[in-house]
Amino acid sequence: MSSPVLHLQDIKRSFTQGEGKLDVLRGCQLTIERGEKVALIGPSGSGKSTLLQIAGLLEKPDKGSILINGQKADGLGDTGRTALRRKAIGFVYQYHHLLPEFTAQENIMLPQMIAGVKREDAGRRADDLLALINLTARKAHRPAQLSGGEQQRVAIARALANRPALLIADEPTGNLDPHTAEHVFAILQNLVSHQRLGLLMATHNHALAARMDRSYELKDGLLAAIQ
């Protein structure tokens, strides 16, 4: 049996606020398997982004254990965490963060080349992903020449470029109109199923969350399953 792509055990994180302490995460538990889509909802300030940052190895918890695709992240130094994150995790944010001076294809090639993939191989992988998101005809366009939905689709393809096991998405449709958001979400779901990834997606959209395999609400520093 394969290891889960994400396992969080008793995750705690606090911040100093004035002379006191704010407990943002008070013992969160979460496991995501390959091919599983999990939604995370909660009001602004509830700690969703903090939990995503910790799950993505961008921030360290005060306490708790993190396994990414079966590999224990606890105790890894910065170099080890960066290597694991680059190999196993892809990120999609509310704003696409594409590099404006590069084409759609080049934006998808860059993370591969940073990871040591040859340019020709990176180009082929980028072309395959562009075909999956129906943007082959736009491969030579720079971000300013793409619509908002097209930009976000390229950002999703870029997140998948290095074949991660886990995709972390923070409000990936938050900047899009309802019709475009629906189209982007459908493509995201299809890619997760096609690539057999685990997906952890924070969203304020309860209708989208209801279409995921599981949904959790982050409230008072704890995760509660939504039935």
pLDDT digits (tens, 9 = 90+) for 53-95: 999 999 999 999 999 998 999 888 889 999 999 889 999 887 7
> Which domains, from first to last, does the chain contain?
34-60+83-225 (3.40.50.300)
Confidence of residue 227 (pLDDT cuts 50, 70, 90): confident
Count of other CB atoms within 10 angstroms of residue 210:
11
User: Counting Cβ atoms within 10 Å, is residue 220 exposed (0-12), middle (13-18) or buried (19+)?
Assistant: exposed
Predicted model pTM: 0.89
What pLDDT does residue 20 have? 80
pLDDT, average across residues 195-199? 91
Q: Considering the chain, what is the average pLDDT of its residues?
A: 90
| Contacts with 122 (C-beta within 8 Å, 6 or more apart), sequence order | 108, 109, 112, 113, 161
Tens of pLDDT along 156-182? 999 999 999 999 998 888 778 888 888
Higher-pLDDT residue of 2, 67? 67
Mapping DSSP to helix (H, G, I), strand (E, B) and coil, where does residue 89 land?
A: strand
pLDDT, average across residues 24-30? 93
pLDDT, average across residues 102-108? 97
